[in-house]
């Protein structure tokens, strides 16, 4: 904007100079003081009556010009050029300013509401941003705001409709302003989690496999105070009951990009062939720590599974030691911590991967650097080749007091088979030495 203003000032100066040059060029310089015929510029010294050159009546008003001037053509040409250049520059600046101008700021709210349904994501997002801005500044009428709430609720509960966090942010703001009805609040909570059931597509007879309910990406605003609680009710193959859930519900915070799973091990008895697993969950969404849910319902999913003969290998192990160096370089162990729960200790940590040429699945152990003891800490798996982090954790004996451990990652077919998308893994073992462990306050380290 400052640059455009500077250019306009320069253009104005050039225009003024051009106008002065053109004006003085047209006026010209004085070449005679004698009277001249205004019509043909003839010298009328000593002449009366009519002009001897053109016959004009010299007695008429303004028929005689006192003196004669000759235009200054160079000034005219230079002035005209400067005016043309300034006009072109002014047009360019104005067009550029118009292109950078946010026309949505002057559009009526009704037009912006219609543009929310545009197939162009850019047009729809820009219209929503302007409506949100007006709502936040109190410039959007309550009627228009309620219309926008209706559109947002309808979009959220339509799985095929494109959703952005801006829609959720508006619903959060509208709810805080008291614009959502109880039915709209229930609908917002009901359709906030994106639920997807997952199971390994091929399993062997008698081999346990995980049946997951995954949440991501969710359809709400950021930040969110919603919590989702899940309880698996049952899983069946036809009339055969595979499992029946019990106990309380697992609860977790719900955010836009949170990636979380809840599930149980099931075992498919066979026979080999194509089967369908039917799984039913109870789902509740609450606000913060409130015990009363905003929405509660049951969700049933049907999944296709191929059951293979007993003993069929489900995971290929790649025995290639040339992969060790890039895999070890990409792995980092982070945040190894021990927590004191009075009756026992609990250790946890994270394996972070920046990239791998093949999928990985490990059993994780903490080992005494002296090689005398080790503790199983869980398992981790990485299906993709991009960066990701995977946590591990397990209970420890009350006398655990090591300030450093070796973290041992042992390839595990079992860990890979527990996933839904890992079918080959690298078969090498990795030992990360001298990893620091944060002990709980009050623990008595042995100094090792």
pLDDT digits (tens, 9 = 90+) for 354-411: 989 999 999 999 999 988 899 999 999 998 766 678 899 999 999 999 999 999 999 9
Are 11 and 79 a contacting pair, CB within 8 Å?
no
Question: Which is it for strands 424-426 and 316-318: parallel, antiparallel or unpaired?
Answer: parallel
Task: State the DSSP H helix or E strand holding residue 326, giving kind and residue range, or none if neither.
Answer: helix 324-330
Residue 116: pLDDT band with limits 50, 70, 90: very high
Task: State the DSSP H helix or E strand holding residue 146, giving kind and residue range, or none if neither.
Answer: helix 142-156
DSSP state of 57: B
Alpha-carbon span 259 to 256, nearest angstrom: 9
Beta bridge partners of 381: 361
Evaluate whether 195-308 and 316-436 have a shared fold. yes
Residue 246: pLDDT band with limits 50, 70, 90: low
Over pLDDT 90: what percentage of the chain? 56
> 3-class SS at 173?
helix
Q: What is the mean pLDDT of residues 208-217?
A: 87
Domain boundary assignment for the chain: 2-43+69-100, 106-190, 195-308, 316-436
CATH level 3 topology of 316-436 = Immunoglobulin-like (2.60.40)
Q: Pick the closest to residue 260 from 249, 271, 251 (CA basis).
A: 251
Name the class of domain 195-308. mainly beta
Q: What is the pLDDT of residue 97?
A: 57
Average pLDDT, the chain: 88
Q: What is the pLDDT of residue 382?
A: 92
pLDDT digits (tens, 9 = 90+) for 419-432: 888 999 999 999 99
């Amino acid at each position: 904007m400052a640059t455009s203003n500077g250019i306009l000032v320069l253009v104005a100066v050039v225009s003024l100079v051009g106008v002065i040059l053109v004006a003085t060029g047209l006026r010209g310089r004085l070449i005679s003081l004698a009277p001249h015929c205004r019509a043909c510029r003839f010298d009328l010294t000593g002449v009366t009556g009519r002009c001897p050159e053109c016959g004009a009546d010299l007695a008429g008003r303004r028929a005689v010009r006192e003196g004669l001037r000759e235009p200054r053509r160079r000034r005219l040409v230079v002035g005209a050029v400067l005016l043309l250049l300034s006009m072109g520059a002014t047009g360019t600046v104005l067009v550029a300013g118009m292109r950078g101008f946010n026309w949505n700021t002057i559009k009526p709210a009704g037009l912006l509401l219609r543009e929310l349904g545009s197939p162009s994501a850019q047009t729809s997002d820009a219209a929503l941003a302007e409506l949100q801005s007006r709502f936040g500044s109190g410039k959007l009428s309550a009627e228009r705001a309620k219309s926008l709430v209706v559109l947002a609720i309808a979009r959220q509960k339509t799985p095929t409709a494109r959703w952005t966090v801006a829609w959720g942010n508006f619903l959060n703001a509208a709810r805080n302003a008291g614009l959502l009805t109880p039915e709209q609040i229930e609908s917002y909570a009901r359709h906030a989690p994106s639920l997807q059931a997952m199971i390994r597509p091929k399993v062997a007879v008698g081999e346990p496999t995980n049946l997951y309910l995954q949440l991501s990406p969710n359809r709400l605003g950021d930040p969110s105070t919603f919590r989702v609680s899940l309880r698996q009710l049952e899983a069946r193959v036809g009339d055969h009951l595979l499992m029946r859930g019990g106990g309380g519900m697992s609860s977790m915070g719900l955010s836009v990009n949170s990636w979380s799973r809840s599930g149980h091990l099931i075992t498919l008895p066979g026979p080999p062939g194509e089967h369908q697993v039917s799984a039913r969950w109870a789902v509740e969404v609450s606000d913060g720590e409130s015990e009363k849910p905003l929405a509660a319902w049951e969700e049933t999913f049907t999944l296709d599974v191929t059951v293979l003969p007993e003993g069929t290998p489900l995971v290929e192990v790649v025995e290639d030691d040339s992969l060790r160096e890039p895999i070890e370089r990409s792995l980092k162990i982070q945040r190894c911590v021990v927590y004191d729960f009075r009756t026992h200790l609990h250790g946890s940590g994270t394996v972070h991967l920046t990239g791998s040429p093949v999928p990985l699945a490990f059993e994780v152990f903490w080992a005494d650097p002296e090689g005398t003891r080790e503790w199983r800490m869980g398992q981790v798996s990485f299906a993709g080749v991009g960066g990701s982090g995977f946590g591990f954790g397990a209970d420890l004996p009350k006398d655990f007091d090591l300030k450093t451990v070796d973290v041992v990652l042992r390839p595990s077919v079992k860990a890979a088979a527990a996933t839904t998308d890992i079918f080959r893994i690298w078969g090498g073992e990795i030992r990360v030495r001298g990893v620091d462990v944060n002990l709980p306050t009050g623990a008595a380290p042995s100094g090792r």
